[in-house]
Structure formats: structure tokens, C-alpha cells
Amino acid sequence: MRLAGTIFTNVTKMLDFYSQFNPSPLSIKQFIDFGLNACERKSFLFLRKELPVRLANIMKEIALLPENLLRMPSVGLVNQWYERSFEEIIEFEKREPEQSVLSQFCERLAHIRNRHADVVQTMAQGVLELKESHEVDPGVENSIQYFLDRFYMSRISIRMLINQHTLLFGDQLGAKQASVNGMGSGGRHIGSIDPACDVTAVVRDAYENARFLCDRYYLASPELELLQNGVPSEGPMPIVYVPSHLYHMLFELFKNAMRAVMETYENSPPPVTVNIVRGREDVSLKLSDRGGGIPRSVSDLLFKYMYSTAPQPSKSDSHTVPLAGYGYGLPISRLYARYFHGDLVLMSCEGYGTDAIIYLKALSNEANELLPIFNRTSTKFYKPAQVLGDWSAPLPPSHAHRQDKPFLSHKTNGN
């Protein structure tokens, strides 16, 4: 027991130590430049410091969550995963970068990534457990919203660092240089980044997979109308980006748009249009549907983690479709867009349709990581005070809003 207490005390001290430092955001260009001249030793020396900093920063915020939420079993499980991963990383703090140590470090990172595979679903389950067992006032809800944006963004960034290291130096591609030189399954990828990511190809891939779900449920689906700069085009549109991130956003938006269209038109559904435009600062993808639009009273809630009209998922089918049933598809997609300083916005015309726009940085040196930083400013959001309104409250709607979610939602997908 004394040994266990000593270990806990040491970890707590290390957590306090690393939480004093700010994370070091990287740009896509920095990821690319390092990958082209990949040095496992340099990556090890950077990550053994940077990963504990990122973990410690967000773990300090977990501790500030409302006590009722911290007591939820699923949240406790997530907390245990983070504590264990932090312990395993700091074991390498003073070890020399010999080849055996480098191999152990890479294996440890892969193990940590696997351990955290279900973090999003498990934390979401914890929020559901809170909603089912306690009344949640608006102040607590705002604190949870603030935390989850930062928590999931931190997770995206940590997985990005781990993926880059394991893809460049691990055995996933068979050899260290496979992802750099374009050999094997990595193609031209540098880690998880594609220096010539074809936006058009990712759009088509996401559309076809969303269409498969739509056909299976509705026995029909809207066609895709693909434009570049406002005119029909199927030519490539290369950018430097992480294809899996872009796919995640597009797949979510296509599911939403298709469900809206199919529930508005029984016959001859109009197409879903995607217009890709390259500007000086941004590459923009506007996805437009004619699925009846969204009331403003509902659209304001679509990025709220604690708002979902989908049926609660069972643990047995949580892997069928990513984030099924939690209503997290849109907020998580927006985080992926914002991770490299892009964005995702919705604009809807109730009674007609909805436009969703993804903004991506056109220049890789401007696509910097957006990372949460733990400090005194962030702590105040976990102690919500009553705020008196300084504007008159809106009148309640003259009719009850539909309670069904205005997006693709069926037994295999609740977003």
C-alpha cells in the first residue's frame, strides 16, 4: 500500500509539473517537413515531453468537472485511461534514445492509442449517465460544453502526434520509409498527411459510403452534383491535408443532408450539391441540400453535446457507425475542421434547405494546431455563476417544434 501511495504521489507531482507548460502547436507544414527527413530519435525526444504536457493540461480540466459528472462510472473509466497513459509516457522521461528504447516507445504509443479508441463514446455515455440521474442546470451544461470541446480537441491532437510517429517509425507500413517514399499502403502519405490530398476524391468517397446507408434505409438516395468554383467539374483539387479528417466531416454532413432530403421528397429527390472553391486563404467546400431546412431554434442546438433527439445507443452497437446515437457527429466534425484553424458552419433556410460550409486553410504553413491550454482563464468556466440577462427573452414558439432530429437517423446511425 505504501508503494502504491508513493507512485500516486509521484504521478501527481509530475502532473502538476507538466501542466505548468503550454502545448506546442505544430503546423501541417512542420509535420510534412519533419516527415520528409524523419528522425526517430528527434521525434522521441519531442514526444516524451510534448505528450505529457498535452495530457496534463486536459487532465487538470477533467478534475474541474462538476462533482456529479466525475462520479459517473464512464467518466471515471476515461479518467483512469488518461492517468495510466500519462504514467506510461513519463516512464521514458529520462531514458536514453537507444534503439531498444525507441522500439518500446513506439509500441507503447500504439498501445495507448488502442486504449483510448473508445474515449469519445465512453465520455458521451458518462454525460448520458449524468442526464439520467441528475437535473442539469444551464450553468453546468455550459461548463460541460466548454470542457467537451477542449477535451475532444485535445484527443484529436494527441492522436495526430501518435499516428505520425507510429506511421513513420512503426511496423504498420512494413518499413520506416514506406509512408515517406510512397511505398506500400501509405501511398504518397507522410504519416497520416497527404501532400496532394484530392478533395474531389474524398468528397466522392464520403458520398458513396453515406449513400450506401441511405439506400439501405430509404431504398433510394439523392444524387451528387459536384462543382468546382460554381461549374460542373470532376477534376482533382489537391491540398495538403489529413484525408481521414476531411472524410469524417463530409461523411457526417452527407448523412445529415440525405436524411433531410429523403424525408422531404418521397419521389425524385433533388441532388445534394457540393461546390469546392479555392481562395487565397481558404479552400471552401459548400454542401447544399433541399431537405426542408432547420428552424433557427433547433439549429442553435445542433453543436451542443447535451442535445440529441436520437435514441440512446446500446453499448453493443456503439461501433456500427461512429458516434451512433450520441448526437456528437456535428460538434466533433467542427472540431476536426477547427483543429488546423479551419471551421464548419451551418446556414439554413427553413422550408427550403441547408448549406454546410467547411473551411480549410489553403496554405500549410498557416494550418496550425488549435490546442486547449490549461490556465486561470480556463478554470473560471468550470465555476458558472448566475448570469442576469440584459436582453428581453424571446417569445415562445406558437407551435411545438418537431422533436425528431432533422438529420439522417436510423438504427445504425443516430446523428
Active site residues: 248, 252, 255-256
Q: Are 277 and 286 in contact (CB under 8 A)?
A: yes
List of residues 6+ apart from 253 with CB closer than 8 A: 287, 333, 356, 358
Q: 389: buried, middle or exposed (CB in 10 Å: 19+, 13-18, 0-12)?
A: exposed
Grid cell in block for residue 79? 479518467
Q: Are 382 and 65 in contact (CB under 8 A)?
A: yes
Q: What residues form DSSP beta bridges with 231?
A: 228
Residue with cell 510517429: 165
Q: Are 324 and 318 in contact (CB under 8 A)?
A: yes
**Nearest partner of 306 among 179, 71, 123, judged by Cα:** 123
Indicate the pairing of strand 272-278 with strand 224-228: parallel
Q: Tell me the HSE value of 149 on the side-chain side, using a 13 A CA sphere.
A: 19
Q: What residues form DSSP beta bridges with 100?
A: none
Q: Are 335 and 149 in contact (CB under 8 A)?
A: yes
Helix, strand or coil, per DSSP, at residue 52:
helix
- Between the alpha carbon of residue 119 and those of residues 69, 77, 116, 148, 179, the distances in Å are 15, 9, 5, 11, 27
Grid cell in block for residue 184? 506500400
Q: What secondary structure does DSSP assign to 18-51, as a single string?
A: HTTSPP---BHHHHHHHHHT--HHHHHHHHHHHH
Backbone angles phi, psi at 396, to 5 degrees: -65, 150
